[in-house]
Amino acid sequence: MIQEFASKDALVEEFVSWCLAALKASVDTNGSARILLSGGGTPGPSYLRMNLDCDFLDRLEIGLVDERYIGQESEFSNERLLRSCFSNAPESAIKGMVYDLDDYENNLELLNSEYNHFVDRTDMVILGMGPDGHTASIFPNDAPSDEALFTDKNFLNTNAPAHPTQRITCSLELLRNARNIALIITGTQKLEVLQSNTLQLPIHTALEKCPNINIFYSE
């Protein structure tokens, strides 16, 4: 079900309210809330608002849905975005996905160890979508991305069609096991792709496998 909002500001307000209520419930139950976030300009304003409105940032464990295989100093780094947005959170609360910039495969092994707690329990996943129908770093016409849609592995290296091409992503199986899943999209072009009945893009597989996904949309 798509929740449509008249403006991006209205979307942010409702989305952040929904997020904080769900995360607070996890904190009350487990003592902490574990959340995997996507990068990009669309969810950024919501992260900034959460940084201001959340009074339990010290109870959040924040990780990434996906990342570029680059250093944190790069403007393309999702980890850099999260640390900028969540400036009030403890530095240790945010975990990136890049641990070895010299060895792409070894980095994946290290990630499996560093993200074990998200495998055990993830309370919330926030997804975005590209105009090509990719979500996380799971892209059309990429064999490792195809694997990421159906494998029981937790993390994979994939290939993007644009720079930086080397990507790291959580598998769909890991993401779909989160207790709460949200997708944020803006713009009519993305909505048309999302609602297409003929295209078989990664986002459509995600929707099939995640029937409980909450979709937030505005133009």
Q: Are strands 2-5 and 166-170 parallel, antiparallel or unpaired?
A: unpaired
Average pLDDT over residues 142-153: 98
Question: Exposed/middle/buried for 14, CB within 10 Å: 0-12, 13-18, 19+?
Answer: middle
| In the predicted structure, residue 191 carries a pLDDT above the cut 80 | yes
pTM confidence score? 0.97
| In the predicted structure, residue 197 carries a pLDDT above the cut 80 | no
Q: What is the CATH number of the domain that holds 186?
A: 3.40.50.1360
Average pLDDT score over the chain:
97
Q: Give residue 1's pLDDT.
A: 81
> Tokens 């290290």 belong to which residue?
110
Q: Does residue 63 sit in helix, strand or coil?
A: strand
Report yes or no on 17 lying in a domain: yes
Q: Does residue 164 sit in helix, strand or coil?
A: coil
**How many domains does one find in the chain?**
1
Report yes or no on 99 lying in a domain: yes
Question: 56 is in which domain, residue-wise?
Answer: 2-198
pLDDT in tens, 16-51: 999 999 999 999 999 999 999 999 999 999 999 999
